[in-house]
Amino acid sequence: MFGGVLLREAQYCLHVDKPSGDIFFQVGPLICTMMTDKISHDIAERILAWYARHQRNLPWRKTRDPYHIWVSEVMLQQTQVETVIPYYQRFLSCFPTVQALASASLPEVLKVWENMGYYARARNLHKAAKEIMERFQGEIPQTWGDLMALPGVGNYTAGAILSVAFDQAAAAVDANVRRVLSRVFAIQKPLHESRTQSHLWDLAGKLIPIKGAGRFNQGLMDLGATVCTSKKPACGLCPIQDCCQAYERRLQDVLPVTKKRGPIPHRQVTAAVIWNDCGQVLIARRPNRGLLGGLWKFPGGKQNPGESLPRCLRRHVREELGVQVRVRGPITSVNHAYTHFRITLHAFHCAHQTGEPQPLTCADWRWTTLGRLKDFAFSKADRKIICAVLSQNGGYEA
């Protein structure tokens, strides 16, 4: 009871005091200056009931295996659910346990991860698996501190593992949850600001139920993904519509406040398909860091202002591998977009002239046939070059 009225039957609203950040709940003309257990319980019950009826049918929802849940949560970072599903299934078929992942080589892991992007996730998964075997005897840690100490595990991943796998009352705030909370509480501060992020985590922590934390977190995520969407939210289908300050103030189409992106840089990049007299091509492995770290590539790099593409290509091959090449002719140009920049990758046939390859700025190098290129993990842009070369060769993969 609150003010003589049952909360689940009352029409109450949420308010956030801007200077203090305190939460206020208004029931009719009355205002409660704290988030009571009853109110948070009522919201949690609504989310849990909605999730029980409307949860998405996803493969990682059918297990409580903490390793499988960890893999899914890492894959879902920066990648859409529909894209993740086949990769998740393939990854677990190759590495069904943390022991199997730790025992694999990094090139094997990157090959299975190939084309999903954001390869630091795969490198960190592999590194963390090794640490779990060494420090925790192959068992996924069940404490916040131990999880956060693992490579690639942040607040969201730790909260998701603890709540979903171990049913601990831990919040897990992803992009979908941030959107839901920013609308429910009418938060009009930019989401990227650290103060806003901390406030959202605090709100999520106050709402999390003692039991069913994993289902609650997944319910908030599903609500943001399917109802409280970034554009044209379906407010009429929302189980907590009457609690939503954005809906009451007609701000659901302008919240959350996001950072405006500036112009995206566009880079011109070269790639050399270098042939030797045996009909083999020269490939290089990137160092295990950076955007595409650990993947194989065709030698080359970014064009400098005023530099011709052939000159750029010769320079990068020399700096990367210490060899001289003769540029024969173009193969294809590939346009590709990354998160913060775009590239046009210009590929050329080249002939090896002098010099024994050395890993000067790359991690490794290899002469190989076209048919063996499928055994190496390449970026999506480099894969398009391979397809173009095979097409020119009539599909021949000797």
Among all residues, which ones are annotated catalytic? 73
> How far is it, in rounded angstroms, from Cα 62 to Cα 345?
41
Positive or negative, the Cα torsion across 339, 305, 345, 289?
A: negative
Please enumerate in sequence order all residues whose Cβ is within 8 A of that of 372, keeping only pairs 6 or more positions apart, or say none: none
| Assigned token pair, 204 | 């999520």
> How far is it, in rounded angstroms, from Cα 367 to Cα 272?
13
> How far is it, in rounded angstroms, from Cα 398 to Cα 394?
11
Burial of 169 (0-12, 13-18, 19+ CB in 10 A): middle
Angle at 26 between CA 22 and CA 27, to 5 degrees: 150
Supply φ then ψ for residue 379, to 5 degrees: -70, 165
Instruction: Give how far Cα 349 sits from Cα of 161, 271, 276, 346, Å.
Output: 48, 9, 11, 10
> How far is it, in rounded angstroms, from Cα 25 to Cα 13?
5
Comparing CA positions, the residue from 62, 271, 77 lying closest to residue 165 is 62
């992020």: which residue's tokens?
Answer: 197
Supply φ then ψ for residue 375, to 5 degrees: -85, -10
> How far is it, in rounded angstroms, from Cα 374 to Cα 395?
13
Inter-residue contact 145 to 191 (CB < 8 Å): no
Q: Name 354's bridge partners.
A: 324
């700096």: which residue's tokens?
Answer: 319
Name the H helices within 231-375: 245-248, 309-321
